Amino acid sequence: MYVTNVGMLTLIVVTALVFLGFLHRVLDRMRLTKTQALTILLAMLAAGFLPNIPLGGGLSMNIGGALVPVAVAVYLIVTADEAREKRRALLTTGVVAVTAFLSEKILPLHGELPLDVDPLFVPAILAAVTAYALGRSRRAAFVGGVFGVILTDLLAWSENLLLYRLHVPIILGSTGVFGAAVIAGMGAVLLAELLGETLERIKGGPQR
């Protein structure tokens, strides 16, 4: 329930900021126009209610929660100006995946956590923080957040299938636009803009 509520709040906040023009600079850095950004947000919301795409072996993909954000992440990598930017995004993805995967092993699925945070939401929080800390740029942070969480789900699916011989159904982006992948991607970008801007100014200017 917490994931869904925070996901809805995140979507509303990001959509409102884009619509009102407050994220114009961020969109420029991510090579997206205001119209494109709003279209993507609405597409994720609408596509989240479409039937999941079966991938085989008990694995399937939610269109709004995985396919659309992954497509956006791929676009951001392809349009990156420098090879360094692409490598940074891929490195961020790997670190996010490991961090989120290990957090699911260490933290209990049910129980008490500080500030009454749903444990199922912790990987998304870790992904957003890690993605910005390593990615630094808005593009790399979004790519790392989205790809990292998707890769975490793939690692869990592979572990169940190959190590434990369990056919546990896993849906990538299972909760649609309210899922960890979407929240991690958008959360990393918001961290980059709201928290990172001060540090970047101190260091002499923003990084893309």
- Using one digit for the tens of pLDDT, what is the confidence trace for 137-168? 788 889 998 999 899 989 989 998 888 888 88
| pLDDT bracket for residue 136 (50, 70, 90) | confident
**103-122 per-position pLDDT tens digit:** 877 765 555 545 555 556 67
**What is the mean pLDDT of the segment spanning 43-61?**
87
Q: Look at residue 207 and give its three-state secondary structure.
A: coil
Sequence ranges of the domains in the chain: 2-202
Query: Does the pLDDT value for residue 32 go beyond 60?
Result: yes
The reported pTM is: 0.83
**Mutual orientation of helices 180-194 and 122-135 as an angle, nearest 10°?**
40
DSSP letter, residue 108:
-
Query: Does the pLDDT value for residue 73 go beyond 90?
Result: yes
| pLDDT bracket for residue 42 (50, 70, 90) | confident
User: How far is it, in rounded angstroms, from Cα 171 to Cα 84?
Assistant: 32
> Which residues are CB-neighbours of 39 under 8 A, at least 6 positions away?
none
Strands 59-61 and 170-172: parallel
**Residue pointed to by tokens 């993507």:** 40
User: How far is it, in rounded angstroms, from Cα 189 to Cα 192?
Assistant: 5
Q: What's the confidence (pLDDT) of residue 174? A: 74
Query: Which one-letter amino acid corresponds to residue 124?
Result: A
User: How far is it, in rounded angstroms, from Cα 207 to Cα 31?
Assistant: 14
- Is the alpha carbon torsion for 106, 166, 150, 46 positive or negative? negative
| pLDDT bracket for residue 1 (50, 70, 90) | very low
Residues in the chain: 208
**167-185 per-position pLDDT tens digit:** 888 889 876 555 778 888 8
